Each structure stands twice: as C-alpha cells, then as structure tokens.
Structure 1
Amino acid sequence: MPRRVIHKWRPPLAFVLGGTLAAVFCLPLIGIAYFRVAGGVLGWAETSWMIGWMAFVATAILGFLLWRLVLRPVRALTGYAQSEGKTDAPVHVGTPELSQLTQSVIAMATRLRGREAVLRSYADHVTHEFKSPLSAIRGAAELLADDSLPAADRAKLVDNVAMAAARMADLLESQRALARAHEPMADGRCLLSDVAAGRDAVRIISDGIVPLSDQVMQIVLGHLIDNAMTHGAREVTLEVRGDVLLVSDDGPGVSSGNRERIFEPFFTTNRDAGGTGMGLPIVRQMLEAHGAAITLAEGPGAVFEIRF
C-alpha cells in the first residue's frame, strides 16, 4: 500500500490565493487612508515610515504563508517526482488540494515501481523457465528429423512438444493477466453471497457488502478458491468483519519458509502440476489497484485477510 499523507487542517488553496489578492488590493487603500488621517498628527515623514513598516510586516506574513502552504509543498513534491519515488515521500503538505495531489503522486509512483519490479522479475523468470520447454522442442525437432524413428517414439516427442508449447503459452498468458490486474476496473459494491453463489465447497460464515465491483470480486475469489483447492483444501470459508474480508481454507496451510514469498510473481510449489505462480500476485495487484490490500494471516490452513 502506498504511504499515506498525514492530513492536518490547512486553509483551502482558493482561500489562500483569495486572501493574498485581497491583501494586495486593500493594503494600498489602507495606506492612503492612514496617511490622510495620521499625516497631520504624526507628520508626513513619520506616517510614511509607519505605512512602510506596516506594508513590510504584512508582506512578510503573506510571503511566509505562501511559502509554507504552497511553495514548500510544491518543491517537496517536485523533488519526490524527479527522484522517481526513490526519496522519502512528503508526509506534511500545505492546502487540501496539494495534499490530494501528493497522495495521488505517491500512489502513482508506487504502482510504477510495482510494474517495474514485475517486468524485471518476469524477464528473469522467462530466461529461466523457457529454457526447459525450448530445450525439449529443440531436442524433439532434431529427433523427429530422423526418418528411422519408431512411430511410438515419434508420437511421444510430438506430445512433449505440445506440452512445452502449452507451458510457454501459460507463462505468457499469466504475464498478460498480471498486466491487466494493474489496471483498475469500474468501482462498485457487491454482496458477498451473490458473488460466491454457485461456487462449490464455499461456505459463508458472515455475509456483508464488499466495496468492490462484482467483476473484481469474481476474479479475486476465483483465484483464491482455485489456489486453495489446488493445494489440497476441501472447503473455503468467507467472513466479512467490518472493512475486512477473511478467506480461509481447511488445507495444509503455508509453510513458514514460503510465507514471505507467496505473493512473488511466478513463485509456486505446484510447478509439476502446471502451476505458474501468478494467481496470488494477480490478486494482490488487482486489490492494490482498487485501494485494498491482502495479507497472509495466522490460522489453521491458509487464511487471507483482505482490507478495504
């Protein structure tokens, strides 16, 4: 989740700019009126000095407010953007408008870093994972060129080529699915029981409204349920607790050595059965694109906690 900006009361930007313009307009009028009233009492020289000091003090106050509420936050945000999100993000900003802008920039930088990490990990993974199917295809092509190869061996090699090609297609489709998960779908709300209706081996402990669209929840629950069943679970339970959704199963759970890695793209313990390790990363990226977060909680079986 992107870092949150600390919100403190600050005057709106329109108030700051309007107050500055009003002061610029009124100060000369006040000076003229004061000069006419006090000029004959204090003398023209003393009155001029008084008006000058009043203008100086007023200008200093306005300058400080503009620096504090506008210039400094804009400079901090500009520095953060120029560093591509590598420096510490601003946490105290000026007006509410700048606060919203800063939060949007932080969220955008977080998403961009996530996409960069995914592309980097995907390139590394493809380099490693594609070696096996490519080697199988290359070896099969060399052997199939032999006209004396028995028909049974030829059929087996053709099957190996088909399996290798399917594996490569699965990897590419998983990457496309992960890229799509970064893009937020339409916002909405849905009833959990409506989304889970018709799904086998799913039991709802506590129903409730989920602040995500039906389409998003269908994808999220689909990946989580498929992941649970693939790893030996017989039942998945759903429970809404305020702004938290718990998705639990009765499977063997996640080992301590894998708990820190289950959301990494392409990490899987089910590779022999065709697992690509992209289900949970897709779920996490899709939820983050909608302002939610998923973590692995403690409990019997695998327990996922989704916070909205």
Structure 2
Amino acid sequence: MRRRGGNPAWHRAQDGRMRPVIARKWRPPLLLVLGGTLTAVLVLPLAGLLAVRWLSPLMGFRTSALTVGLAVVLATAILGWLLWRLLLRPVRALADHAKAVRAGQPDAAAPLRHYGTQELRDLGQAVLDMADTLQNREASIRAFTDHVTHELKSPLTTIKGAAEILATTPAGEPADPRLVDGIADAATQMEAQLAALRRLAAAREPTFRGHTTVQAVMRDLQAAHPDLSLTSSGERLFLPLSDEGLRLILSQLLANSEQNGARTVDIEAVKEEGIPCLWVRDDGRGISPGNADRIFQPFFTTRREAGGTGMGLSVVVALLAAHGARIVHVPGAIGAQFRICFDAD
C-alpha cells in the first residue's frame, strides 16, 4: 500500500472525536483535466500537420516529419504522465486505501499523499470518514459487548446458584421461597436489560430525521412530567430532529431530573457559532464529580436496587450520534445541566 503523506490535519467533529481531514488546496477539477485531454487529442494531430507543412521547405519533408513526430510523441508522453498523476495513481491509491480499511490496518485513517483532482479529494475524504466511522463503530461494539457480558453475569450467577441448590433439595420438600424469589428477580433484571438493549439498538438508527422546535414538544413534555415545572426559551429555533426524536431525548433527561429530586427544569435552544444547541438545566441533586465521566456509559446507574438499568442516557447518546449530534454534561453550581449540539445544516 502506498505511504501516507505528511501529517494529516485533524478536525474535532460534533461527536467529540478527532477526525482526519484532507488539507484543502488548489487541485484541478476533473472537468478541466478531461477537457484539456480531449483538446490536446484534437489539437496535436492538426498542429503536427501544420508544423510539417511549415518546416518542410526549411528542413525537408523527411526531417521535418521525424522532428514533428518526436515532438508529438513527447507531448503525448507528458499528457499520459499528467493523466497518470492526476487520475490513475490516486484511483489506485484509493483502492489500496479501501482494502486497508477492510483489513483493519491501523494507518487506514491517514490521508494519502496525492489526490489529483478536486473530485478525488472529495472521494478520498468520504473514504476517510467511512474508515473513521467503521473503526469507532467496531470499538463501540467491542466495549458494548464487554458491558453486556459484565451486566448479565450477576443475574446468571444467581440463577445458576439457585438451580444448583434446588437440584440438591430432596424430592418432596418445598423449595426455599428465597431461591424462587432470587430466580424471579434475576429473570426480571435480565428482561429489563434486554429491553434496554433493544431500545439502544433502535436508537442507533437515523429514523428521526426532520426539523422541529422546543415549542412543538413542550405541551407533551409537561403532560408527561406533571411534577416538574418546565420553562423554555428559544422555542422557535429549528433543530435538525423530528418531533418524536426530540421528545424522546428530552423525556429521558426530564426523567433523570425527577429521579434526582428536581422541581424545575429549564430548556434553552440557542445558536452557538452558527450551530443549533440545546441546554437542559435542573435544580436537582446534580451529578457528583466521581460519576460525571461515567453517566453516559451503558449500564451505569446509581439506582440498581430500584430497578434502574443504566441505559437511559446511553440511548440518548446513541440517538443523537445517529443524527449528527452530541451531548455533554456541563458541571454547574446547582443541579445538573446538559448541552446538546447538532451539526450545522
């Protein structure tokens, strides 16, 4: 595979990750390359004939024809070299790059040295974005599998232990109610976790495309959370998400606020540097510094005994990521506050 060139430029995307970006510089458009090639193919024979006719009286027909022929061959070679440099070499390098992505090579995210034309640069950037997405998705799946294995180990151990004890119970004796309750509780826990996994998988699909405003969902949110006093600002700012998608995200954040003792929640839609953003602030107990870095991890919860699965905020993160947005927790003096920013339209 061809070596990558130079130090790649990196750009912080809305999802917080650093993505490789091909440096923008002047490159000939494909139309110019093809147009120039066709023009040269048309002009070279005509120019050769005219040159032979003009040089024949001075050099003789044979000498002039040989000279012009060599000049045409040289011009054709230069034209072929340009086509190789601007088209053939970048296309082959992109093919090798795609093979490296498929093979999972660690340097697959680095830009190539040359891209030839503007269109090939755009194609190369698309390949880089695809490679970055695939690599991060693979890492996400690996981490998620580890979380699932860890979380299901506890209820499975409970069921296995209870089954072993029941297997040694003499026939005819009643089963210990505590063992039966333990099996039932473990099964309920597993069902809740599997249901949360299904919600997370559904949230990863970009099914909530559209545009909406905070004003469009405020009435439904207030009806669903009557114990909260909701305030809002920037209600008319359009957000790149459907009504249902925004309702799901805010409902989960409001549910978290209720669970943490909040009475009032403020929802603010603003534009920050041309990017639509959403702030959600409450007056609850807030999030401790020790948990702030873990709240978006799947299965993390401080309400395990109360039946919490720890998947609510993970669903929010997955849904937003599928629609080009990112949520972060912003430490504050009172309560909890979250900032959601979308990709600029």
TM-score after normalising by structure 1: 0.82
Structure 1 runs, 4 residues or longer, greater than 6 Å off: none
1:167 is matched with 189
Change (3 A) 1:46 1:285: farther
Aligned positions, number: 305
- The residue type paired with residue 146 of structure 2 is D
- The alpha carbon displacement at 1:62 in A equals 6.0
Work out whether 1:148 is the aligned partner of 2:177.
no
Quick check: 1:26 aligned with 2:43?
Answer: yes
Query: Are residue 63 (structure 1) and residue 81 (structure 2) matched?
Result: yes
User: 1:244 Cα shift?
Assistant: 1.7
Deviations 1:189-230 (A, max 9, x none): 112221233213332122211012223222322332223333
Specify the alignment match of 2:289 in structure 1. Answer: 256
Query: Is this contact kept in 2: 1:35–1:51, CA < 8 A?
Result: no
Task: State the percentage of identical aligned residues.
Answer: 41
Aligned twin of 1:78 = 96
- Give the residue type in structure 2 aligned to 1:120: R
For the residues of structure 1 that align with 2:127 and 2:33, how far apart are their CA atoms? 23
Alignment partner for residue 232 of structure 1, among 261, 267, 280? 261
**Aligned residue type for 2:52:** F
* Aligned partner letter, 2:259: T
Please name the residue that 1:89 is paired with. 110
Correspondence 1:211 to 2:240: yes
Q: Look up the match of 1:241.
A: 270
Change (3 A) 1:109 1:197: farther
Hey, what does 2:336 align to over in structure 1? 302
- The farther-off stretch of 130-139 and 58-67 is 58-67
Maintained 8 Å contact 2:37/2:79: no
Residue 34 (structure 2) aligns with: 17
Q: Is the 8 A contact 2:94 2:124 kept in 1?
A: no
Check conservation: 2:52, 2:64, Cα contact below 8 A: no
Task: Specify the code of the residue in structure 1 equivalent to 2:336.
Answer: A
Distance (Å, rounded) in 1 between the aligned partners of 2:86 and 2:310: 48
Check 1:190–1:142 CA distance in 2 against 1; reply closer, same or farther (3 A cut). same
Secondary structure of 1:304's partner?
A: strand
C-alpha spacing 1:16/1:252, structure 2 compared with 1 (3 Å):
farther
Aligned CA-pair RMSD? 3.2
Contact 2:85 2:116 in 1 (8 A): no
**Gaps spanning 5+ residues in structure 1: where?**
none
How far the C-alpha of 1:70 sits from its partner, in A, is 6.1
- Relative to 1, partners in 2 of residues 1:67 and 1:124: Cα closer, same or farther, differing over 3 Å? same
Give the aligned partner of residue 9 of structure 2: none
Which residue of the partner structure matches residue 282 of structure 1?
Answer: 315
* Contact 1:239/1:247 (<8 A) preserved: yes
Q: Which residue in 2 is equivalent to 1:176?
A: 198
SS at match of 2:305: helix
Q: Tell me, what secondary structure is at the counterpart of 2:299?
A: coil
1:223 equivalent to 2:256? Answer no
Counterpart for residue 114 of structure 1: 136
Q: Distance in 1 between matches of 2:116 and 2:262?
A: 51
Separation in 2 of the partners of 1:85 and 1:232?
48
Whether the 8 Å CA contact 1:16–1:66 is kept in 2: the answer is no
Structure 2: unaligned runs, 5 residues or longer: 1-12
Instruction: Give the Cα–Cα distance (whole angstroms) in 2 for the partners of residues 259 and 93 of structure 1.
Output: 43
- Supply the distance in 2 between the matched residues of 1:94 and 1:214 (Cα, whole angstroms): 44
1: CA distance, partners of 2:194 / 2:51? 78
